[in-house]
Amino acid sequence: MSSTPTREVARRVFAREFNDATYTFKESDDERAPVYVLLPTGQRANRVFLVGTLTETEDVGEDSEYWQGRVVDPNGDTFFTYAGQYQPDAASMLRELEPPAYVAVVGKPRTYETEEGEVNVSVRPESINLVDEATRDRWVVETAERTIERIQRVGGDSTDEYVEMAREQYDEGVTGYKRMVEEALESLEAEQAEASAD
């Protein structure tokens, strides 16, 4: 039996919920234990999978290249991605891509506390790939389904430890995310109706 660590499942999440996921934790005291962000819908995430429109790229590094990418989901909410010398493939994609472009990003959530005490959430990409509109549309539908499943677990009488943790950590509840899912699907339908009218 091999003791190779298995890679965590990359969770599908819309930007609004991802940006609200300000609580991080480890499952053990081991230095190398993975750091998870807790999604407000009661799911731990060590990796995320997102697809959206890359609207802007910028080299924000001082001594060496450090690329920031803004990826917008169908609700108009933004994922911020940052890639530097330790993510050479992702950094070169951000350097070379011409926005706007549909991209698929797999990466690790990172949180950063500002001097004002606010927590910002971003993605450190493992990979960034150019995708087509159909791929983006499929991602929206599948992410909507996963999000609704999580919302139902939080709203139900689940005793799942991560659901419990989310109830403790986030006061807002999850009703706003239900509307977010509806808006994402509505924007997709509007786009498709517009495309078929052309």
Q: What is the 3-state secondary structure (H, E, C) of the chain?
A: CCCCCCCCCEEECCHHHHHHCCCEEECCCCCCCCEEEEECCCEEECEEEEEEEEEEEEECCCCCCCEEEEEECCCCCEEEEEECCCCHHHHHHHHHCCCCEEEEEEEEEEEEECCCCCEEEEEEEEEEEECCHHHHHHHHHHHHHHHHHHHHHHHCCCCCHHHHHHHHHCCCCCHHHHHHHHHHHHHHHHHHHHHHHC
> What is the tens place of the pLDDT at every residue in 47-104?
999 999 999 999 999 999 999 999 999 999 999 999 999 999 999 999 999 999 999 9
The CATH code of the domain at 10-188 is 2.40.50.140
On the question of pLDDT at 131 being above 50, the answer is yes
> What is the tens place of the pLDDT at every residue in 25-52?
999 999 889 999 999 999 999 999 999 9
